[in-house]
Structure 1
Amino acid sequence: MNLLVAFNALMNERNVTRAATQVGVSQPAMSAALSRLRNLLGDPLFQRSSVGLIPTPRARDLASPVAAALRQIELAMVSQPVFQPETASVTFKLGLQDYPTVVLLPALLEALEQTMPGVSLNVLAFNDRDAAVDLLDAGVIDAAIGVSPTNTDARILTRPLLRDEFVTIVSSDNLAARSPMNLNTYLDLQHVLVSPEGQLHGLVDQTLAQQGKKRKLALTLPQIFAVPAVVARTNMAATILKRVALHSQASHRLILFPPPLALPEIVFHLIWHRRSDNHPAQLWFREFIAKHSAAL
Structure 2
Amino acid sequence: MNFHGIDMNLLVAFDALMNERNVTRAATQVGVSQPAMSAALSRLRKFFGDPLFLRGTGGLLPTARARDLSEPIAQALRQIESTLVKEPQFLPEKASLTFKLGLSDYPAFVLLPSLLQALGKEAPGVSLDVHAFNDRDHAVDLLDAGAIDAAIGVPPTHSDRRILTRPILQDEFVTIVASDHPAARRGMSMETYLALPHVLVSPEGERHGLVDQALAQQGKKRRLGLTLPQMFAVPAIVARTSMTATVMKRVALHSPVGRKLVLFPPPISLPEVVFGLIWHRRNDSHPAQAWLREFVARHAATSNCLTNQ
Confirm or deny a common fold (TM above 0.5). yes
Find the residue that maps to 1:144 and give its secondary structure.
strand
Match of 2:291 in 1: 284
> In the alignment, does 2:44 pair up with 1:49?
no
Match of 1:26 in 2: 33
Match of 2:107 in 1: 100
Match of 2:168 in 1: 161
Moved more, 20-29 or 91-100: 20-29
Match of 2:265 in 1: 258
Match of 1:204 in 2: 211
Alignment root-mean-square deviation, CA: 0.8
Match of 2:5 in 1: none
Quote the offset at 1:152 in angstroms. Answer: 2.7
Match of 2:278 in 1: 271
Task: Tell me the distance in 2 between the aligned counterparts of 1:174 and 1:222.
Answer: 25
Task: Tell me the distance in 2 between the aligned counterparts of 1:134 and 1:86.
Answer: 31
Quote the offset at 1:21 in angstroms. Answer: 1.2
Quote the offset at 1:49 in angstroms. Answer: 1.5
Match of 2:307 in 1: none
> In the alignment, does 2:221 pair up with 1:184?
no
Counterpart amino acid of 1:49? G
Match among 137, 141, 148 for residue 134 of structure 1: 141
Task: Tell me the distance in 2 between the aligned counterparts of 1:115 and 1:283.
Answer: 15
| Pairing 1:176-255 to 2, within 5 Å after superposition | 176-255=183-262
Match of 2:131 in 1: 124
> In the alignment, does 2:30 pair up with 1:13?
no
> In the alignment, does 2:193 pair up with 1:152?
no
Find the residue that maps to 1:225 and give its secondary structure.
coil
Match of 2:181 in 1: 174
TM-score, normalised on structure 1?
Answer: 0.99
Match among 88, 96, 103 for residue 95 of structure 2: 88
Task: Tell me the distance in 2 between the aligned counterparts of 1:144 and 1:159.
Answer: 11
Task: Tell me the distance in 2 between the aligned counterparts of 1:3 and 1:267.
Answer: 38
TM-score, normalised on structure 2?
Answer: 0.95
Quote the offset at 1:50 in angstroms. Answer: 2.0
Task: Tell me the distance in 1 between the aligned counterparts of 2:131 and 2:16.
Answer: 26
Counterpart amino acid of 2:163? I
Matched residue count: 296
Find the residue that maps to 1:127 and give its secondary structure.
coil
Task: Tell me the distance in 2 between the aligned counterparts of 1:143 and 1:27.
Answer: 26
Task: Tell me the distance in 1 between the aligned counterparts of 2:69 and 2:209.
Answer: 38
Once the two structures are aligned, what percentage of the paired residues are identical?
Answer: 72
Q: Which runs of 4+ in 1 moved over 4 A?
A: none
Find the residue that maps to 1:130 and give its secondary structure.
helix
Quote the offset at 1:117 in angstroms. Answer: 1.1
Counterpart amino acid of 2:63? T
Cα deviations by residue, 1:182-213 (Å, 9 ceiling, x for unpaired): 11110011000111111111100000001110
Which residues of structure 1 form unaligned runs of 5+?
Answer: none
Find the residue that maps to 1:70 and give its secondary structure.
helix
| Pairing 1:70-81 to 2, within 5 Å after superposition | 70-81=77-88
Cα deviations by residue, 1:75-132 (Å, 9 ceiling, x for unpaired): 0000111000001001000000010001000111001112321010000111111110
